[in-house]
Homo-oligomer: A and B are copies of this chain.
Amino acid sequence: MTVLLETARTALLAAAVPAKAEPVPLETCWRRVMAEAVVADMDFPPFDRSPLDGYALVAAEVEAASFEQPVWLKVVENLPAGRVAVQAIGRGLAARIMTGAPVPAGATGVVRLEDVAAEGGQVAIYHGAGCGDNICVRGEEIAAGERVILPGTVINAGVMGLLALLGKDRPLVYQRPRAAIFATGGEVRPVAEPLPPGAIRNSNSYMLAGQVLEAGGEPVHYSIAPDSTAEIAARLAAAAECDLVVTTGGVSVGDYDLMADAYRAAGITILFERVSIKPGMPVLAGVKDGRLYLGLSGNPAAAAIAFEQLVRPVIVKMSGRSNWARPRARARLTSPFAKQTGAPRFLWARCTPGEEGLYVQPLSFQGNGMLKSAAAANALIAIPAHSPPLPAGAEVEVLLLTGV
């Protein structure tokens, strides 16, 4: 049974549940996903504060001050950042105030150090100030009670700063979904071993591990399974300690494509076996005890695209993020793409901004050489099913692969 791409993705997303939450030290939370909302328990700034070094005063008194007619005030206090004023400011008075210090009671404006001259206990104000000038008002950034950070937020540098500002030294984040990965096939050899004639190295497991990491998951490698239904089934059973299981190989229709038999032997219910997508058609999806099993092709091109279109959304959802979709844009092809297909087709590509918007170059190795293309790509061209041949200059949809 070949299912449509959207149908397959909807079925998998319905079966995917976010991982459990755990508190982590603030230092280690970069790229994690928030599992709680953070509500401000106070205003920020927590007090009226000066954004610069100067003198806090009653603004109305110095409105007309000028270099020719300065206003002289008595300096009653010196306020570095962190010190709370002891004295209120009234008429004729001023307090020297440093960047970040709380504005004293009674003061309605701050005049910059550059616009004054201090002498003894007095200060001459040479420049007028309006009410509220150079005062950052309590709560102007964040008001107490505001939901500042929402669950599902990916923690970037700005969010790390916000968490610190809000006093969250152990934010609650989603656990990274652990994805078991293994390859099947008698011809597949571990990377560090010598390569006998006819054999190939296990490149897919590492490519998939990189894709798991990029999606926000944690790859867990299992050893290569030989061409034996019982052995593959045993490997599937062992991998059930992870949150989902991703395999490569054994999903075509040949004599050694044993994955479907292994699913049945392991008691995994098969959801679908083929998806209308090129490359990447053979995808054996199954579920057991709420855990998803995704058997991808042994062909790297097919495995990579099927992962991108079907497994990545699952891991993104499991990692707690609300939006699995890649950013989409329109771009002009810089070279023709002549192939036609009945299924949606995805091409590795380089997208670059130009004079007239975005341009996109399909990378030359789309077949067995896809690893070179995947390594160099920053976008995927998405060609809908039944598209005609596309000339250079044709506008196409691209999926922008940020974060790779």
B-binding residues in A (CB < 8 A):
26-27, 30-31, 42, 44-47, 51, 53, 80-84, 98-102, 113, 136, 140-142, 148-149, 153, 155-165, 167-169, 185-188, 191-192, 195, 197-211, 213-214, 219, 221, 227, 252-256, 298-300, 304, 327-330, 353, 356-358, 365, 367-369, 371-377, 402-404
B164 & A206 in contact (Cβ 8 Å cutoff) = yes
B156 & A375 in contact (Cβ 8 Å cutoff) = yes
Interchain residue pairs A-B with the least CB separation, the first 7: A82-B187, A157-B210, A161-B207, A158-B374, A158-B375, A141-B369, A329-B353
Number of copies: 2
The complex places the Cα of A185 from the Cα of B185 at a distance, in Å, of 62
How far does the Cβ of A54 sit from chain B's closest Cβ, in whole Å? 10
> What are 29 A-B pairs with beta-carbon distances under 8 A?
A27-B221, A30-B210, A30-B214, A47-B197, A81-B298, A84-B198, A99-B252, A100-B298, A113-B254, A141-B369, A153-B375, A156-B404, A157-B207, A157-B374, A158-B207, A158-B304, A159-B375, A161-B210, A161-B300, A161-B374, A162-B372, A164-B202, A167-B195, A167-B201, A169-B191, A327-B353, A329-B353, A402-B402, A402-B403
A376 & B191 in contact (Cβ 8 Å cutoff) = no
A369 & B140 in contact (Cβ 8 Å cutoff) = yes
For the complex with contacts A83-B198, A156-B375, A157-B211, 17 further pairs of A-B residues with Cβ separation under 8 Å are: A27-B209, A51-B299, A81-B198, A81-B298, A82-B187, A100-B187, A100-B200, A102-B197, A113-B254, A140-B369, A141-B372, A156-B404, A157-B207, A161-B371, A162-B203, A164-B201, A357-B357
B161 & A206 in contact (Cβ 8 Å cutoff) = yes
The complex places the Cα of A210 from the Cα of B160 at a distance, in Å, of 7
The answer to whether residues A26 and B191 also contact, given A45-B368, A99-B298 and a CB cut-off of 8 A, is: yes
How far does the Cβ of A161 sit from chain B's closest Cβ, in whole Å? 3
The answer to whether residues A162 and B375 also contact, given A47-B197, A82-B199, A402-B402 and a CB cut-off of 8 A, is: yes
B164 & A203 in contact (Cβ 8 Å cutoff) = yes
How far does the Cβ of A196 sit from chain B's closest Cβ, in whole Å? 8
B26, B158, B329, B367: the one contacting A373 at CB < 8 Å is: B158
